[in-house]
Structure 1
Amino acid sequence: MATIDHVSRAEQARQHTLVVVAHPDPRSLTHAVAREIAGATEGAGGSVETADLAGERFDPAFTIDDVRHYHGAAPAPADVVAEQRRIDRADRLVLVFPVYWWSMPALLKGWIDRVFVNGWAFDHSVEQGITPRLTGTTVHLVPIAGGDADGYRRHGYTEALRVQVESGIFGFCGATVGSATTIFESEATTADTFAAEMESLAAAVQGAAVATA
C-alpha cells in the first residue's frame, strides 16, 4: 500500500493537473465540483488548469479533416493540437461531467474522439499492432449522475461506465485510472448539500495522485 510521506508530498506539489469540465451552465453542480477539485489542487501546492469545453466552444464534431489526420494523410487540426499540448503538460487529468443516457455528454465524447487519436494517444501499425502512449498520465473520473447508487448498481450502469471509459478509452491508451467517483442524485439536491462530499472527493483525487507518484 502506498504511503503519504515527505517525498510523496513534494512530488504532489510539483504535479500539474488539468481539470476538464463538460457542462454548458457555469452554475451547475458539475462546474461546482470542478472548481472544488481545482481549488484543492492549488491548496496542496500543485498547479492547475481548467478546460471548460463548453465555455471555450470546443467543436466535438469529427470531420473529414480529423479522418485524414487519423489515417496520416493530413496534419492534426489546430484545435486538436492545442488540446493535446495541454494534456501533455499535465501529470494528471480530471474529467468532471454529467451522465447523459448512461454515458458521457456528446461534448466530452467528441473531445476524446478528436484528441485521443492514433499517433498521439496510441500508435497503430499492421506490424506492431497497438502501442499505448499515455502511460505517464493518471486520470480521475467524476461522473455526476441524476440517479441513485442502488439503481446504477442494479442495472449495471456503473459497470458499463467502467468498461466504456476506464477500460475502453484510458486503459486502451495506457493511462492509469487513479480514481472514479460518481456523485449520485444530483438533480434532487443543491450544490450546498454536496459540500462535504465534494471536499472528500477533492481529497480523494489528491490522495490518489500521491499514491501513484
Structure 2
Amino acid sequence: MATLIVTAHPDTGSLTHRAAQRVQELLPAGSTETAHLAQEGFDPRFTDSDRRAYLERRPAGPDVLAEQQRVDRATDLVLVFPVWWWSMPALLKGWVDRVFIGGWAFGFDEAGRVVPALGRLTAHLLPVSGTAAGSFARHGYAQSFSTQVEHGVLDYCGMRRGATAFLWESESGDAAAVARSLEEAAAAIATAVGQRG
C-alpha cells in the first residue's frame, strides 16, 4: 500500500499542512509520499506547450511526467487543501489540469466516448473550510463541490471515491474545536486508507 498526500498551501505552518502531517502520522511508517506543491514550486499554468502536447498526442513535459509517476506509485491519493472561493486553490486545480490529462488519466474509445484510466487509484479529500457545514450546504456549495471535484475529476478519471472529510470552521478562533475537527478529519482519511490495505 502506498499513499500520496498532496497539499496546495503556501504556508508550511498552515492548518492544511498540519492536517496533511497528521494523516501521514496516522498511516504506517514508510507507506506515504508527500507532494507539497507550493513548496516544490510546481507550475500550475497550462501552457501552449501543454496544449500542443495534448493536441498532437505527444508525451507531456518532464515536470508533468514526474507528477504522473508519483501518482502511479500510489494506491491511494489524498488531496489536502484549503477551500478558497468554494473550491480548491488555483495551484491544485492547475496540478489537476496539467497532470490528469488524456492518454494517462483517461482516453477515448472508437465512438469518442471517455474511457477512464485511473481505476487502480482511490482518492480521498481533506478540504479545510473556514465556514460551517450548514453554511456550505445552505448555499448549495456542498452539491457544487461534489459535482466539480468528486464527479468532475475523480469519477471522470475512474478513481474510486474514498473518504471526503472536511475540516470545518477552521477560522473560528476556537483552538480546541479546530484541533478536534482536524483530528476527526485526519482519522477519517487514515481509516479509509487503512480499510483498503
How does the TM-score come out when normalised to structure 2? Answer: 0.93
What is residue 77 of structure 2 aligned with on the other side? 93
What is residue 30 of structure 1 aligned with on the other side? 16
Distance in 2 of aligned mates of 1:71 and 1:124:
14
What do the CA deviations read for 1:38-58 (whole angstroms, capped 9, x no partner)? 1111xx355111100000010
CA contact (8 A) 2:168 2:181 kept: no
Amino acid at match of 1:175: M
Distance in 2 of aligned mates of 1:32 and 1:122:
32
Closer/same/farther in 2, CA of residues 190 and 54 from structure 1, 3 Å limit = farther
Distance in 1 of aligned mates of 2:149 and 2:167:
16
Distance in 2 of aligned mates of 1:144 and 1:197:
10
Segment drifting more, 89-98 vs 127-136 = 127-136
Amino acid at match of 1:26: T
What do the CA deviations read for 1:110-143 (whole angstroms, capped 9, x no partner)? 0000000000000125535211110010111011
Distance in 1 of aligned mates of 2:180 and 2:172:
16
Root-mean-square deviation (Å): 1.7
Structure 1 residue 203, shift from structure 2 partner: 2.3
Distance in 2 of aligned mates of 1:23 and 1:191:
20
Question: Which of residues 125, 129, 150 is equivalent to 1:141?
Answer: 125
What do the CA deviations read for 1:66-96 (whole angstroms, capped 9, x no partner)? 1011123432111000000000001100001
Question: Which of residues 26, 31, 40 is equivalent to 1:40?
Answer: 26
Distance in 2 of aligned mates of 1:186 and 1:104:
15
Distance in 2 of aligned mates of 1:146 and 1:124:
39
CA contact (8 A) 1:178 1:212 kept: no
What is residue 4 of structure 2 aligned with on the other side? 18
Amino acid at match of 1:55: Q
What is residue 77 of structure 1 aligned with on the other side? 61
CA contact (8 A) 2:16 2:128 kept: yes
In the TM superposition, structure 1's runs of 4+ consecutive aligned residues that sit over 6 Å from their partners are none
- In the alignment of these two chains, the number of paired residues is 197
Closer/same/farther in 2, CA of residues 190 and 106 from structure 1, 3 Å limit = farther
What is residue 201 of structure 1 aligned with on the other side? 185
How does the TM-score come out when normalised to structure 1? Answer: 0.87
Structure 1: gaps spanning 5 or more residues: 1-14
Q: Is residue 114 of structure 1 aligned with residue 98 of structure 2? A: yes
